[in-house]
Each structure stands twice: as structure tokens, then as C-alpha cells.
Homo-oligomer: A and B are copies of this chain.
Amino acid sequence: MFDLKWSAAEKKVARRAFEVALDAALAGIMAEFKAKAAAAQTASEMWALEDYLRRRRREIDERFDYRYSQLPFVFACLIRDGHLDETRLAGLSDDKLEIIRNFLSRMSASSSP
């Protein structure tokens, strides 16, 4: 997507932001899953959790794509979904932050009525 140069310091910031977001996303799924498992009363409610886990795992695999060429888009999605606070990206170059914000504004525009 982008042929940006990432300094060693930027890679460290990116990796840390990515991992914090991943941990947050996984913790959210874990909490939701445990609540659903505890609340299941019937076999069909229990079997439905197989599909729930499969979908959540796929979403995680798709969203958390740590390729530098994809990271600006990945970070924009994570901010939009509430998994990442933009302040975690402090230390990235202005051009990268600009690209991320640009994605974000296009996402909000496309989700508006």
C-alpha cells in the first residue's frame, strides 16, 4: 500500500501500539466470551459459541496485520474501533500520522448517513 520508511524508533512505537491494541481487543473478546459461556443454558446456545469464536478469531487475524505496508490502514481501523488511542502513535513521522488521519476521516465520511 505504502512504501514508507520506518526508523528503528518508529518500529518500536508501532510494535508497542499494535500489541497494546491486540491485548485490548483480545481482552474484550475474552470477557464477552466468558459471559456468553456462563450464560449459555441450552446446547444450541453452547454450540453457537463455536461459530462466535471462529468469527472473532478471523476478525483478529484480518485486523491485526503487522506488515509495514499495511500499518497505517491497520492503525486507522484500530483507532476507529476503539482498540487504540492515537496518542500511542506519538513518535511516528508526520507523513505517517497524516496518512492514518486521512484514512480515519475517509472512514468516518463513508460511515455517515
- A residues adjacent to B (C-beta < 8 A): 26, 29-30, 33-34, 37-38, 40, 43, 46-47, 49-50, 53-54, 57
Bound Cα distance from A71 to B34, whole angstroms: 37
A49: chain B residues within 8 A (beta carbon): 49, 53
* A37 close to B47 (CB less than 8 A): no
Please, which residue of chain B has its CB at the minimum distance from the CB of A22? B43
* B43 close to A33 (CB less than 8 A): no
* B46 close to A54 (CB less than 8 A): no
Query: Within the complex, what minimum Cβ distance (angstroms) separates A57 from chain B?
Result: 5
* B33 close to A37 (CB less than 8 A): yes
* B57 close to A47 (CB less than 8 A): yes
Query: Which of B38, B43, B57 is the one whose CB lies under 8 Å from A50?
Result: B57
A37: chain B residues within 8 A (beta carbon): 33-34, 37-38
